Chain A
């Protein structure tokens, strides 16, 4: 989607290793979100940010941390990856092409083996 990119697109990692996913936006939006998508659960909020260094937890935040040192970048870190964190991770910004709603990135498929 225009203005928001996620990296990497795919990643396989081993249990117990740290992993960082990156979300980058080019449109200076204040609000950014990390969701995970799992079959039967839809999209669940992990963490969100309402400005540089301003972040808060969502409903499934255990095992995850985030950082936002610049407006354009929102990082999601799995401190010690577990198999239950195998999922597709989506970053979203409020606004962009989604106008009032969210604009989502293309997602990162993470597999923890």
Chain B
């Protein structure tokens, strides 16, 4: 089955700086890669996703890049703000209807004011 590794497990950055979280996956058949943000006491919430036919996708301060050859994808957050502090999860699945997402172990991002 699919295995997703995520690094780092914790990340602290100064407010206004950029943050990068990286994930690798094992199954070359995977072609859907979402990122979720989880705030304390809540369920994870989808913030951005990318499919394998696209190398990069951007939504305001958030971007995701995908390298299918190397089987890794990354989340980039620019101009970080205190409300970006949360746990972030990457995930991977095959895009064939019933997507059973395999998640990474999470990154706790702390924005230092």
Contact = CB atoms under 8 A, between A and B. Distances in A.
Interface of A: 1, 31, 33, 35, 40-45, 48, 50, 58-59, 90, 92, 94, 98-107
B8 to A, nearest CB: 13
A64 B94 CA distance: 25
A14 to B, nearest CB: 25
- Chain B: interface size category: 20 to 34
Contact of A106 (B1, B43, B98): B43
A23 to B, nearest CB: 11
A58 B105 contact: no
Contact of B105 (A40, A59, A90): A40
Interface of B: 1, 6, 32, 34, 36, 41-46, 49, 89, 98-106
Contacts of A58: 100
A95 B81 CA distance: 28
Nearest to B49: A101
